[in-house]
């Protein structure tokens, strides 16, 4: 699949599902939907900026309006916070693991706090320090979030909860590609970045891009 085509489908999917979710919220006023809309829009902003910066024709135009602080990481933290609040509300029904729900709200609040911390580090110490803290926080939080995803999936009782949490598992597993990219920077793209393989002792390890996990998660929610 061509890289441009893959990204066009991905961005269209995010905006289309955000539009449908907004229409559903207009009808139901369900308090859980705005968090998912925020997740979709923050993810769109995060990846669309990266896509534009990677295109020579857009780079110079975008650089003129680029703020002094990099907002890729804050958008990523905001998307994670919205998504965790969304999962918390989905699970917060009578008899559904209140202790685990509280852990989700704590994690969501931590991601929201990381937005301010990241911007402060960028302003005071530079983007390099902020990026390092971002990588450390992502690595430290990954194992607990992976455990939480599978734990909630096992504890979910209602069919729609199981379906949505199955999507959250695909997103969580998608971070394997993000971490592997940091460990093995010399990777090759396959299918326009949708699937990547890394040179390891095996000698190659294949895994899907995080955007594939996000797309599957969006389908599960829809």
Alpha-carbon separation of residue 202 from 60, 196, 197, 216 (angstroms): 41, 15, 11, 28
- For the chain, give the mean pLDDT: 81
Cβ burial of 87 (10 Å; 0-12, 13-18, 19+) is buried
Which residues touch 31 (CB under 8 Å, ≥6 apart)? 89
Cβ burial of 204 (10 Å; 0-12, 13-18, 19+) is exposed
Confidence of residue 97 (pLDDT cuts 50, 70, 90): low
How crowded is residue 156: how many other Cβ atoms within 10 Å of its Cβ?
20
pLDDT at 40 over 90: yes
The token duo for 76 is 């990523």
Confidence of residue 65 (pLDDT cuts 50, 70, 90): low
pLDDT one-digit tens code per residue, 198-207 = 777 777 777 8
Helix ranges (DSSP H) in the chain: 3-28, 33-53, 56-64, 72-91, 98-125, 127-155, 159-183, 210-221
For residues 13-29, average pLDDT: 93
pLDDT at 87 over 60: yes
pLDDT at 59 over 60: no
CB-CB contact of 34 with 83 (8 Å): no
**For residues 114-149, b (16+ Cβ closer than 10 Å) or e, as one string?**
bbebbbebbeeeebeebbebbeebbeebeeebeebb
pLDDT at 141 over 80: yes
The token duo for 153 is 């999936």
- Sketch the domain layout of the chain as residue ranges: 3-221
For residues 58-68, average pLDDT: 59
Confidence of residue 36 (pLDDT cuts 50, 70, 90): very high
**Long-range CB contact pairs, 27-33, < 8 A, 24+:** 31/89, 32/86, 32/89, 32/90
Which residues touch 111 (CB under 8 Å, ≥6 apart)? 77, 78, 80, 81, 84
Nearest to 190, CA basis, from 56, 2, 16: 2
pLDDT one-digit tens code per residue, 103-120 = 888 888 889 998 998 888
pLDDT at 102 over 90: no
Sheet order of strands, 187-190 included = 187-190, 195-199, 204-208
């Amino acid at each position: 699949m061509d890289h441009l085509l893959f990204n066009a489908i991905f961005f269209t999917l995010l905006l289309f599902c955000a539009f449908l979710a907004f229409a559903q919220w207009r009808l139901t006023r369900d308090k859980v939907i705005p968090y998912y809309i925020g997740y979709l829009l923050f993810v769109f902003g995060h990846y669309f900026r990266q896509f534009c910066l990677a295109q020579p024709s857009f780079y110079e135009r975008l650089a003129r309006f680029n703020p002094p602080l990099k907002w890729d990481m804050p958008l990523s933290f905001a998307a994670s916070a919205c998504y965790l609040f969304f999962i918390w509300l989905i699970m917060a029904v009578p008899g559904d693991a209140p202790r685990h729900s509280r852990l989700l709200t704590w994690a969501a609040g931590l991601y929201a706090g990381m937005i301010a911390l990241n911007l402060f580090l960028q302003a005071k110490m530079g983007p390099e320090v902020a990026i390092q803290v971002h990588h450390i926080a992502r690595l430290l939080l990954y194992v607990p979030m992976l455990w939480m995803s599978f734990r909630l999936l096992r504890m979910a009782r209602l069919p729609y909860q199981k379906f949505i949490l199955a999507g959250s598992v695909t997103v969580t597993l998608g971070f394997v590609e993000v971490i592997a990219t940091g460990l093995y920077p010399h990777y090759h793209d396959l299918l326009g970045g949708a699937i990547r393989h890394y040179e390891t002792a095996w000698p190659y390890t294949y895994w899907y891009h995080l955007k594939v996990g996000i797309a599957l998660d969006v389908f599960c929610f829809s």
